Amino acid sequence: MKKATVLSLLVLLLSACNYGFSQELKLNDLEYFETQGVNVLVYSNLFTGGFNDEKTAGIELIHHGVRTAQGGAVRLSSTPEQWDLVPEIPTRKVDKESKSIEATLRYGDYDFDSRVVVTAKGKGVEIAIYLDKPLPKELEGSAGFNLEFLPSQYWAKTYLMDGRINRFPRYVVGNTITRPNSEKLKQFKGYVTYDDRGTGRFIEPLPLETGRSIILAPDKPERLVKITSHEADLMLFDGRVLAQNGWFVVRSLLPAGKTGKVLTWTVEPNAINDWVRDPNIGFSQVGYLPSQQKVAVIELDKHDKPLEKASIYKIGNDGKATEVFNGNIATWGDYYKYHYIKFDFSSVNTPGIYYIKYGNFKTNNFLIENNVYDKITDATSDIWIPIHMNHMFVNEAYRVWHGEPFKEGYLQAPPNTDHFDLHGQGPTTDTKYKPMETIPGLNVGGFFDAGDFDIETGSNIGVVQNFVKTWEYFKPLRDQNFVDEKQRYVDLHRPDGTPDILQFIEHGTLNLVAQAEIIGHMAQTLSNSVLDNYHHLGDAASITDGLPYNPNLGPYEVAPDGRSSGVKDDMWAFTSRNAGLNLRAATMFAATSRVLKGYNDDLSARTLQQSKRLLKEATELLAEQPQDSLGWRAISANMTTNLQLYISTKEQQYKDKFQELLWPALDKNVSFTILTALEAIPHMDIAFKEKLRPYVVKYKEYIDELENDNPYGVPIGLGNWARSGTIVSFGTTICFANKYFPDIIDASHAFKTTNWLFGCHPYHNYSLVAAVGAARPKKVFYGNNRADFSFIPGNVAPGILFRKPDHFENYDDWPFLWGQNEGTIGGNTNYLIFGSAFKNLVK
């Protein structure tokens, strides 16, 4: 016992030594606390009212370049889940004289306000919680201050609570208790949350440790943080007990019956003396054509001094590396947090295996060869897309990706229903079906939206349209999958004699045309009715029992004939009529009718009929609305619908309407509309192309502006969802613009998109496409297998996520942040178009 105490004291002394060289935190002009190696953000990023807790808000710690802590706020749960209530933050005040930031946190459901004041104190910050009124009775024992730490940066590291040594678990292991649901605090905005499997109880995790002082990761100086609580115990929880995306949580309860300053923490993140982030050498992991421009973008810490030169080494057949080029570094400048320089090695054009050396840093190897881009879409089309086919059993060799999901079909969503995935059913069903009545015939075709298993109608419309464009422009005959709609069976890597993309078009269309014919218009979504089912991970077929719900049966009882059950797990159809969505469907149906002719003539005729009907009805509905209230989506949908109907029918009325809408749209936003105009060129006369020319010149000006905007020359997004999709569309537009206006748009601009996707971007240099860029692709993605810290080949990550005010990130050791790691069916099929267009361009 005495030996353990001495060891604890020794570790504490060693930890204290790390602090001895740290500099004091300063409140900078960007309104966060900073010293070299440490940034403490205080409500620079706010909680959202949509998905609530996205693990990207509150008080945040960026520790030696990695955002390792977030969620610092008064919360109503020990281990908050995604849909738990989050506080509104109506006020935030920065006081430079007192070196403090103060924010008001409000829970309107409980009429509960608190104030959080964060003040620079030496090498750390003091976090103080103030209450002007005592805690509401129902929040006593529930409201507390939380700070959450990223598990992947802490598991297998040690921690000390009041000197007691322990280790963060790699996999969730902890003690829990269960309580009656009647005791559970209202947290979920009225959603149906748990089906409880008859228990009527909920899980409550117990703390791993309790004390007044905790040191996290004394064995890892770049992650070492000391937290001291002066009035209340600190409790350490493992949030992964309740949800795989949970973080380690340090928490103190707020006291009952008190006002004023009720809780004080001191938080001291260790700052390694004179720490400088390693350079991030951005380049294409896929490699380069011998003839293309080759420029590495090197991201440097602002305390780092740029070198004058960098080198290229070639790996010979004998395994030895030889320097074959060295060149000067060109300065681009500052972009948010970092400084950027560029290294042009375009003159290296001999096929081979290479790496870049910058100072003492060298990259992994890459190829220069004429075939490096030949397979960039294969994983997406061969694997990711068929795995996301709904209502099908999907097999790959010895592995079953999922059984046939949702055999029971879909129930009519009740009126005035709010859905946790931002959908809702309006005051009526807008159909002939009664609430909770099965709508027959919808359990066919369609694609899972993303890392979840619902059919987002808007996304599926775009997906089928993307397949049609890919087929019509590039005719990919690739056949690597067996698809049988009658058997409802897919087998990967097993050719069946039919181009896969035709089968994808048919599969997506089957669900969408069923919606149009059976419901009468397009549903918003076909999704889960119970939140527990919605965040299901694993086999999609096991979300539900495959049997329609029968209210005459007891809970979990199965009817004698085996055709229904008492399980309330059925999927719902949200059917509120939306004119804009119907317009988009009309566009897709018009295009699909062309492709399916000669392949599935019956489906072709049905889609054309629905296109004309939906266009007529949607136009009448939109005419009743004020024109200034119509969003760009509705206007764009109307424009593209008329274009597709003209291509399919050659009727002049559709051509006239398309051009009536096109030119004002180009005047308003050329970068958004130009691709649609370019796609129309083969179907219009020469005068149309010439009228379009000045708009292409204007688009060229937009491209040139991007060169000055950021060192990568692409449209980087700064929202809560990273912008790989926008960059992919940018690349597609360049490919089409170069095809029709090569004298204005140079083909070299398209390589900016491949460079970005395959490794030339901020934060790290991994390829953002799973299994593409095999030397260093990302290892984890937010897919339906994310709990396994794995990926589905061909998935395209949203990419590099911006956190205000100046931090870019993309975790490759933590898949659970969808804004940076979740591939979607819409985004991945956009990538399919770009990849096809790009391969066509480089030929």
521 domain residue, yes or no: yes
Higher pLDDT, 510 or 649: 510
Containing domain of residue 15, as a range? 2-269
Kindly state the average pLDDT of the residues 705-717: 97
408 domain residue, yes or no: yes
For residues 295 and 383, state if they share a domain: no
Domains identified in the chain, total number: 4
Residue 706 pairs in a beta bridge with: none
Rounded Cα–Cα distance for residues 68 and 66 (Å): 6
Rounded Cα–Cα distance for residues 621 and 643 (Å): 20
Mean pLDDT rounded to a whole number for the chain: 93
For residues 50 and 87, state if they share a domain: yes
80 domain residue, yes or no: yes
531 domain residue, yes or no: yes
Residue listed under structure tokens 């912008």: 723
Q: Where are the beta strands (DSSP E) in 542-699?
A: 571-574
Please write the tens of the pLDDT for every residue from 620-630: 888 887 766 55
Length of the chain: 843
% of the chain at pLDDT higher than 90: 85
348 domain residue, yes or no: yes
Burial of 654 (0-12, 13-18, 19+ CB in 10 A): buried
For residues 77 and 196, state if they share a domain: yes
Q: What pLDDT sits at residue 8?
A: 47
Residue 162 known to be catalytic: no
10 domain residue, yes or no: yes
Residue listed under structure tokens 């419901």: 519
Rounded Cα–Cα distance for residues 208 and 346 (Å): 55
pLDDT tops 50 at residue 715: yes
Indicate the residue among 306, 337, 368 that finishes a domain.
Answer: 368
Distances in Å between the alpha carbon of 155 and those of 171, 238, 375? 8, 11, 37
The CATH number of residue 464's host domain is: 1.50.10.10
Question: Taking a C-beta distance cutoff of 8 angstroms, is the pair 143, 76 a contact?
Answer: yes
For residues 297 and 395, state if they share a domain: no
Q: What pLDDT sits at residue 641?
A: 87
Higher pLDDT, 227 or 423: 227
For residues 293 and 265, state if they share a domain: no
Higher pLDDT, 233 or 22: 233
Q: What pLDDT sits at residue 529?
A: 81
Kindly state the average pLDDT of the residues 574-585: 92
For residues 523 and 610, state if they share a domain: yes
Indicate the residue among 589, 624, 659 that finishes a domain.
Answer: 624
Question: Taking a C-beta distance cutoff of 8 angstroms, is the pair 759, 798 a contact?
Answer: no
Question: Taking a C-beta distance cutoff of 8 angstroms, is the pair 670, 663 a contact?
Answer: no
Q: What pLDDT sits at residue 445?
A: 98
Burial 109-123 (b: 16+ CB within 10 A, else e): ebebbbbbbbbbbeb
652 domain residue, yes or no: no
655 domain residue, yes or no: no
Whose CA is closest to 726, among 757, 704, 749, 695? 757
* pTM of the entire predicted model: 0.94
The CATH number of residue 285's host domain is: 2.60.40.10
For residues 318 and 399, state if they share a domain: no
The DSSP code sequence of 685-715 is -HHHHHHHHHHHHHHHHHHHHHHHHSTT-S-
Rounded Cα–Cα distance for residues 410 and 430 (Å): 16
Q: What pLDDT sits at residue 11?
A: 46
Rounded Cα–Cα distance for residues 580 and 587 (Å): 11
pLDDT tops 80 at residue 193: no
Determine which one of 196, 334, 667, 813 is catalytic.
813
Confidence of residue 423 (pLDDT cuts 50, 70, 90): confident
Question: Taking a C-beta distance cutoff of 8 angstroms, is the pair 444, 461 a contact?
Answer: no
For residues 412 and 342, state if they share a domain: no
For residues 117 and 244, state if they share a domain: yes
For residues 766 and 812, state if they share a domain: yes
Rounded Cα–Cα distance for residues 637 and 648 (Å): 16
Determine which one of 81, 102, 812, 822 is catalytic.
822
pLDDT tops 80 at residue 41: yes
* HSE-up of residue 495 (Cα within 13 Å, Cβ side): 7
Confidence of residue 182 (pLDDT cuts 50, 70, 90): low
Residue 812 known to be catalytic: no
pLDDT tops 50 at residue 709: yes
Kindly state the average pLDDT of the residues 163-190: 81
Residue 119 pairs in a beta bridge with: 100, 126
Does 415 sit behind a cis peptide bond, omega within 30 degrees of 0 on the bond before it? no
Indicate the residue among 322, 346, 368 that finishes a domain.
Answer: 368
The CATH number of residue 171's host domain is: 2.70.98
Residue 574 pairs in a beta bridge with: 525
Kindly state the average pLDDT of the residues 397-422: 92
For residues 773 and 799, state if they share a domain: yes
For residues 35 and 140, state if they share a domain: yes
What is the C-alpha end-to-end distance of the chain, expressed in Å?
73
Tokens (6 digits) for 585: 């469907």
* Packing angle of the helix pair 579-596, 457-474 (nearest 10 deg): 30
pLDDT tops 80 at residue 716: yes
Confidence of residue 632 (pLDDT cuts 50, 70, 90): low
